[in-house]
Amino acid sequence: MTTQSHRAERVSAPAGSVEFDADVLVLGGGPAGTWAAVSAAERGARVVLADKGFCGTSGATAAAGTGVWYVDPDPALREAAMADREKLGGYLQDRRWMARVLDRTYQQSNRLADWGYPYPTDDRGKPQRNSLQGPEYMRLMRKRTKQAGVTILDHSPALELLVDDDGAVAGASGERRQKREERHHRQSRKSRIAAQPAEPVPNVLPNALHASPPLTPVRVSAAAQRRQLSFATILEPAHG
């Protein structure tokens, strides 16, 4: 087991606030957020992860289960799996991405097994890795995130993006709900910010609860208005 020794540094801040200097800031502590944090920390980055709830129990996955597109790396099996998904998706997919998802899912699902996730087995004793139980999955991901050296800020919703002198996003600020509305700042020194990227262990179908980086300002705006970005939220492009 490798434990990350480099942690985000807590720096001087005004009274009533806390501030961290880090290389990577992850907003959201669901599957995507925890995988992003672990991956960055394993590559030597100092990482802060901020969750509006308690990382490991908040979000849709923690209270449910999720299907995983896990297919053994047998060419015939992979071909059949992609052909089946193409039919369901109206043949709009890109096979290069489908192959990448299959490879990544296989790799990361096996890592979960190595970390101790209790996959069930069939009658022949073969592990069944095509689904994950939310409570066990996210409890393990919180554990691994902490072991990687990530600084986790629970009950700390981000309400505002911070920019550097060049106008690039360099961090975020928000509040710590269990600290009497205490303001806090999380800043990424190298101007790298992650906000629920695509899951390394993806679901079979897209999940709108996992926003992509371009939606970060939308998520922050929704949080500022005490509203949750969900399936009921519609984004309309501006033309003209």
Q: Kindly state whether residue 12 falls inside one of the protein's structural domains.
A: no
Query: Do 37 and 87 fall within a single domain?
Result: no
User: Is 50 among the domain residues?
Assistant: yes
Residue 79 domain boundaries: 69-129
Could you tell me which of 206, 212, 202 has the C-alpha nearest to residue 101?
202
Q: Are residues 52 and 164 in the same domain?
A: yes
Does 153 share its domain with 215? yes
Beta bridge partners of 89: none
Residue 128: the pLDDT is 94
Within-domain flag for 124: yes
81 and 54 both lie in a single domain: no
Please tell me whether residues 163 and 179 are part of one structural domain.
Answer: yes
Question: pLDDT, tens digit, for every residue of 64-103?
Answer: 888 999 999 999 999 999 999 998 888 888 999 999 999 9
Tell whether 84 and 118 lie within a shared domain. yes
Residue 99 lies in a domain: yes
Contact 130, 110 (CB under 8 A): no
Percent of the chain with pLDDT over 90: 50
Q: Which of 190-194, 204-208, 210-214 has the lowest mean pLDDT?
A: 204-208
232 domain-assigned: no
DSSP state of 44: T
* Other beta carbons less than 10 A from residue 76's beta carbon: 8
Per the domain annotation, does 56 fall within a domain?
A: yes
Does any domain span residue 8?
A: no
pTM for this predicted structure: 0.75
Q: Work out whether the CA dihedral 7, 13, 18, 22 comes out positive or negative.
A: negative
**Residue 148: alpha-carbon gap to chain centroid:** 15
197: domain CATH number is 3.50.50.60
Is the same domain home to 50 and 96?
no
Q: What is the pLDDT of residues 119-155, one digit of tens each?
A: 999 999 999 999 999 999 999 999 999 999 999 999 9
Q: What is the pLDDT of residues 11-43, one digit of tens each?
A: 877 777 788 889 999 999 999 999 999 999 999
Provide the domain count of the chain: 2
Most confident by average pLDDT, 86-100, 167-181, 220-234: 86-100
Crossing angle of helices 134-147 and 95-115, in 10° steps, is 80
Closest to 41 in 3D by CA, of 59, 26, 56, 63: 26
Tell me: do 58 and 153 sit in the same domain: yes
A 10 A CB-CB count for 17 gives: 15
Average pLDDT of every residue of the chain: 78
Residues 154 and 47 in one domain: yes
Q: Which of 102, 129, 156 is the last residue of a domain?
A: 129
